Amino acid sequence: MNKGIIDCDVHPMPQHIDEIRSYMQMPWKERHKGGGRGLFGNPVHGARLDAKPTNGGPEGSDPEFLREQHIKPFNVAHAILLPRAFCNLHPDPDFATAVAAAYNDWQADTWLGSYNPDGVFKGSITIAHQDPLAAAKEIERWAGHPHFVQVMTDSGARAPFGQRQYYPIYEACERHGFPLAIHPGTDGMGINIQPSPGYPTHYIEWHTCLSLAFQAHLVSFITEGVFERFPGFKVVMVEGGSAWLPTLMWRLDAEYKALRYEVPWVKRRPSEYLRDHVRVTSQPLERPDQDKYLLNTLEAMDAENIMMFSSDYPHWDFDSPKLTFPKLPETMRNRIFYENARELYKL
């Protein structure tokens, strides 16, 4: 792949929380103590043990170390950055919006600015979906920036994302050609509802079931008619898994046959919306013992057209571009590792 690859999930970190605070006004500056998962933090370690920069900062905080460890060895043409602000768990929407804005200012000045002379880094506009109107204004603020390529939010929420209170976000995304990336991280935390019947006992249970929120949001997007109302709007489901996608769509297609009268705004079979409106990233790739089952699953989900490679660098469950997939057909591999992201992000 002489074009390089596009890695659709790389997590940059500030070297210290004061970097973010420097972009905040009082009283938010004093209140902001950093983010985190609280109840469901990794009990062992959250990042690769070899990803600690030589300058002593947190994993993912040194752009030159990231280049040497990840960008150059794997021939990464572009790294799509998804900072982890964890702003979507706060009950105060004004505070959450201030945290999101500070992360965007920081990202623009550093990873998309002084750290980015060659343009390899492309960024995500963090929004607090607790206040959709303020989120839309934040999208407007960064529209036209040369290196912001999408909007991002956590999958943790108080309501499924197809519901109409979120429409201002989707309208702004469509107007400016930004996909909306959904990333796990605040499910069941702060004001957000846990997508399982109750709260898990262990991190392994919580982490395994992260895909439940993604499934609920996707069904909501389709059945609420979001893709009909906003025909140019696209969603990227990051780090939510993908093996569940074919069976979920089979079930929804079957339900639609009998219940389409309830949702007359859904003009096509639910599964037919995926290629035009939905992309999934590869990490974490559910890898069965036999490669043939994975290849069958990729074919069933139309991975050649909707999947984009992601590594989740520098986290503990990092997927190597060289080891994650079995041997793929050349066209499928090129589209997953490069073409699908290039088309989506107009790179």
pLDDT at 1: 43
> Can you tell me the mean pLDDT for 255-279?
98
Name the more confident of 325 and 54: 325
Residue 44, pLDDT score? 87
Q: Which domain holds residue 339?
A: 10-345
- Does some domain include residue 5? no
pLDDT of 286-305, one tens digit each?
999 999 999 999 999 999 99
Residue 40 confidence class, pLDDT cut points 50, 70, 90: confident
pLDDT greater than 90 at residue 185: no
What's the number of domains the chain is made of?
A: 1
pLDDT per position as a tens digit, 90-131: 999 999 999 999 999 999 999 999 999 999 999 999 999 999
In a domain? residue 4: no
Res. 61: pLDDT tops 60: yes
SS (H, E, C) the chain: CCCCEEEEEECCCCCCHHHHHCCCCCCHHHHCCCCCCHHHCCCCCCECCCCCCCCCCCCCCCHHHHHHHHHCCCCEEEEEECCCCCHHHCCCHHHHHHHHHHHHHHHHHHHHHHCCCCCCEEEEEECCCCCHHHHHHHHHHHCCCCCEEEEEEECCCCCCCCCHHHHHHHHHHHHHCCCEEEECCCCCCCCCCCCCCCCCCCHHHHHHCCHHHHHHHHHHHHHCCHHHHCCCCCEEECCCCCCCHHHHHHHHHHHHHHHHHHCCCCCCCHHHHHHHHEEEECCCCCCCCCHHHHHHHHHHCCHHHHEECCCCECECCCCCCCCCCCCCCHHHHHHHHHHHHHHHHCC
Output the domain CATH number for residue 335: 3.20.20.140
Q: Is the pLDDT of residue 37 over 80?
A: no
Asked, for residue 1, whether it belongs to a domain, the answer is no
Position 249 pLDDT exceeds 70: yes
Q: Does residue 201 sit within a domain?
A: yes
Q: How confident is the model at residue 3 (pLDDT cuts 50, 70, 90)?
A: confident
Question: Does residue 123 sit within a domain?
Answer: yes
Residue 2 within any structural domain of the chain:
no
Is there a domain that residue 3 lies in? no
Residue 91 lies in a domain: yes
Q: Would you say residue 39 has pLDDT above 80?
A: no
Residue 118: per-residue pLDDT: 96
